[in-house]
Amino acid sequence: MSGSRVAAPADILISPPRQASIGFRIVASVLIIGHLWAVVGRPIEFATQGPFGTSPSATLFRDPVRAYSQFTYLDHGYAFFAPDPGPSHLVAATVTAKDGKVTELMYPDLGDQWPRLMYHRHFMLSEFLNNIYHPPGEPPPDIANNPAAVRDWRMARRRYESVRDSILECLRKQHPDCEITIRRLQHRQPGLPEFFEDRIALDDVRLVTTLLDEIEMPELPQASEALPTNAVVPMLSPNVPQVAVPRSTVPRSAVPRSTSVEEIRPIRDEAAPEDRVPVADAAEGN
């Protein structure tokens, strides 16, 4: 033991770390730069969009990585949250039990869907239902002689009804022996004048609209609403007697078209069904 010598720390040789080859570093750098190129390419292209299309320079910049960006799904969602998000769409469900008790449900609802991922999934479901919405009724006269267009019209309606009925069936399983109806709501953001001048809140009654399942006729101008019931319309020629013309009206629904987010739950559609105008009859009347 006396003749043996313990190796001092200085005697221990530490081999330097093995460096990657030049070729490997070049390939890795090209892949990293290409991936970052694809990440920023779509936002730059989206930010330069205008009334006449996308900037040619931005399109040229993104073209080399366009296929990779689409394959890895890096080009989605930029119009959803920013820079100008559109209105959100909700699904309101009215559950009526046999004893007459009414329960209002909202999808999505942060109070019911938790964690946040569940809220987001319900939100995607309500947005999908709104995106595939197609009005009822027969195809309009301008496509009545086009078999392909008529087929697409009817298939689009059946697709919407299939998704809507699947939501109803799911709710019926959760609430057996109950009558369930659903309706679509649209919640928009306040505009700049509303926000700065009126100080309108995000849950203001004017920001939420009930979307009806029908082909809505155009609203009359507000000026016609101010006319009395038997307004006297002046004629251009003094020799022609004036005629009392009754004010024409558009059938209005008693279903609330605007509701506050905080007041959505107690809403009940107790009104009779709104008068519907068949497309064929409306065309003949014109």
Q: What is the pLDDT of residue 79?
A: 54
61 and 105 in a single domain? The answer is no
> How confident is the model at residue 233, as a pLDDT?
38
Amino acid at 183: R
Note whether 208 and 106 are same-domain residues.
yes
Domain presence at residue 134: yes
Q: Are residues 141 and 187 in the same domain?
A: yes
List the pLDDT tens digit at each of the 286 positions of the chain.
Answer: 455 555 555 556 666 777 888 889 999 999 999 999 999 998 888 888 876 778 899 999 999 999 999 898 888 765 555 566 788 999 999 999 999 999 999 999 988 888 888 999 999 999 999 999 999 988 888 888 999 999 999 999 999 999 999 999 999 999 999 999 999 999 998 888 888 888 888 888 889 999 988 765 544 444 434 434 444 433 333 443 333 333 333 333 333 333 333 333 333 344 344 444 344 444 444 4
Strands (E), the chain: 88-96, 102-107, 179-187, 208-211, 230-233, 243-246
3-class secondary structure, 157: helix
pLDDT score at 4: 55
Question: So what's the pLDDT on residue 196?
Answer: 85
Same domain, 61 and 186: no
CA 92 to CA 261: how far, in whole Å?
Answer: 11
Q: Within a 13 Å sphere around the CA of 78, how many CA atoms are in the beta-carbon half?
A: 15
Tally of domains in the chain: 2
Rounded to whole angstroms, the Cα distance separating 166 from 152 reads: 21
The pTM is what? Answer: 0.51
Cβ neighbours of residue 250 closer than 8 Å, sequence gap 6 or more: 217, 219, 220
Predicted pLDDT at 199? 87
Same domain, 139 and 207: yes
Are 142 and 210 in a shared domain? yes
204 shares a domain with 95: yes
Tell whether 65 and 154 lie within a shared domain. no
Give the pLDDT score at 267.
36
Q: Give the model's pLDDT for residue 284.
A: 45
On whether the CB atoms of residues 92 and 182 are closer than 8 A, the answer is yes
Quote the CA–CA distance of 92 and 180 in Å, as a whole number.
10
Q: How far apart are the C-alpha atoms of 96 and 270, rounded to whole Å? A: 12
Predicted local distance difference test score (pLDDT) of residue 48: 86
Domain for residue 122, yes or no? Answer: yes
Q: Give the structural domain span for 259.
A: 88-219+254-272
Q: Is 29 within a domain? A: yes
Interstrand relation of 102-107 and 230-233 (parallel, antiparallel or unpaired): unpaired
* Domain contains 239: no
